C-alpha cells in the first residue's frame, strides 16, 4: 500500500531549530508538499518539493531526497505561533491522488 510516515509529536524551545521528517512509500512520485494546521483551523500550504534539494521560504525550509523517499521540513527561529500540526503529502500515482501523513504536532516551550 501507499503510506507516509512522520513523527506524531515533536517538542522544541522557542528560538531554536526543529526538523520534522517524512518518509514515503508510494507507487509513483509527483512531489512532496507540507501543510500547517493550527488547532481549530484549516490546513494551509507551506512548501513544495518536486526535485531533490532544499527549498527555502523565510524561516521555513523543506528538503527532498527522492532516492531515499524522504523529506523534511525545517523550522528556524521558532516562535510560539509555530505551535501547530504539520502534515506532509505526496502525489503518488498517475491519478495525482494526494496521500497524507498522519501529522506531527509541534509543541514549543518558552
Residues 29-68, interacting with another protein (CB under 8 A): 30-31, 33, 41-45, 48, 50
- Residue among 13, 16, 54, 102 that touches another protein (CB under 8 A): 102
Q: Which residues are CB-neighbours of 74 under 8 A, at least 6 positions away?
A: 17, 18, 19, 20, 60, 61, 62, 63
**CB of 36 or CB of 72, closer to another protein:** 36
Task: Find the angle CA(75)-CA(11)-CA(90) to the nearest 5 degrees.
Answer: 55
Cα distance between residue 71 and residue 60, in whole Å:
13
Specify the stretch interacting with another protein by CB under 8 A; choose among 20-28, 59-67, 68-76, 87-95: 87-95
Q: Which residues bind another protein (CB under 8 A)?
A: 30-31, 33, 41-45, 48, 50, 87, 91, 95-103
Amino acid at each position: 500500500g501507499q503510506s507516509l510516515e512522520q513523527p506524531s509529536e515533536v517538542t522544541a524551545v522557542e528560538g531554536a531549530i526543529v526538523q520534522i521528517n517524512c518518509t514515503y512509500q508510494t507507487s509513483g512520485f509527483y512531489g512532496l508538499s507540507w501543510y500547517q494546521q493550527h488547532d481549530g483551523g484549516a490546513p494551509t500550504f507551506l512548501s513544495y518539493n518536486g526535485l531533490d534539494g532544499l527549498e527555502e521560504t523565510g524561516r521555513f525550509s523543506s528538503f527532498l531526497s527522492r532516492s531515499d523517499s524522504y523529506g523534511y521540513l525545517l523550522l528556524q527561529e521558532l516562535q510560539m505561533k509555530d505551535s501547530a500540526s504539520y502534515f506532509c503529502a505526496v502525489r503518488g500515482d498517475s491519478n495525482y491522488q494526494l496521500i497524507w501523513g498522519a501529522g506531527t504536532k509541534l509543541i514549543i516551550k518558552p
